[in-house]
Structure 1
């Protein structure tokens, strides 16, 4: 076991960095209709996008591996599922709902869209895509991927993950939890855990 003492200034800097990370809550479906609300966010590396599923049955899907799976929620549900993705790049990320017909009705979402790769262009392509369930690519061309899998754009490789509190890939992690209907807050224990991990790293504590 080796202990290295870090300066108070180093610890304060790391604590500030951890606390500065944001969680963006996005509602999926519900009374808003076939939309993600909001439909875009501008996030920094280390930020989290938390998707909260409201009544009906939707997914949060990206071609590179992020897929929440179908999340059916009853109209009178008192607990609703959520699915979180950690952003590990500032390039645009593209998501869609793979429920039949939802992508074609414009149910798509973007992280960090740009003037050249805009949300509006992505959504327009989604609405123009075929009824076979193939989502659009971020370049604006319809995808030739099989129904139900699809491609949400070449920039989608900046995030990956799986459902049920597991994670995979080097660019993002995802978790799922159950929340009271309409509640969109990240747990205090998760925030505290990240802060303690950062402080432990700064102190150089090796077991």
Structure 2
């Protein structure tokens, strides 16, 4: 059973200052920043119990028949703060979601094949479905499958969300959400683009 995480705002603010300093240091490449801050290290949410991070990774990896190293925590739960444009520098809290990236070509291609077969059978889409489909393709092009954008009637959509619902609040008091990346290179590139945008801001 998880223990309540004490949110140390001053500690997170220090982490934000360190991250901003890294953004201003152009001797560090975007790739290196992604590797050092987003990929490497124990997530903020597990700062007091590193072993739970492996336990969570192992449980998810076992369900998807992958290796634990293919499962990464991202977002504010990892850093202690958000670097998403719409939530920039927001501190991690009990209301935050925990975002999981599953990096697996095999899983990606399995869903890709199923979604392709499902989609080509559609005769037409509603306007809402068409907008959702276009957004889905935007992320798909970047090597990221977002299950929250899966077609409404795709049979495995509910299966995906039921699984992550079943492990939410088990390791931490937060909801857990997941996405699938094609490979490590595209995962890095997606986050490198965000780092590059951040560097263009006044940090």
Q: TM-score, normalised by structure 2?
A: 0.23
**Which structure has more helix as a fraction of its residues?**
2
Q: TM-score, normalised by structure 1?
A: 0.23
| Larger gyration radius, structure 1 or structure 2 | 1
**Which structure has more strand as a fraction of its residues?**
1
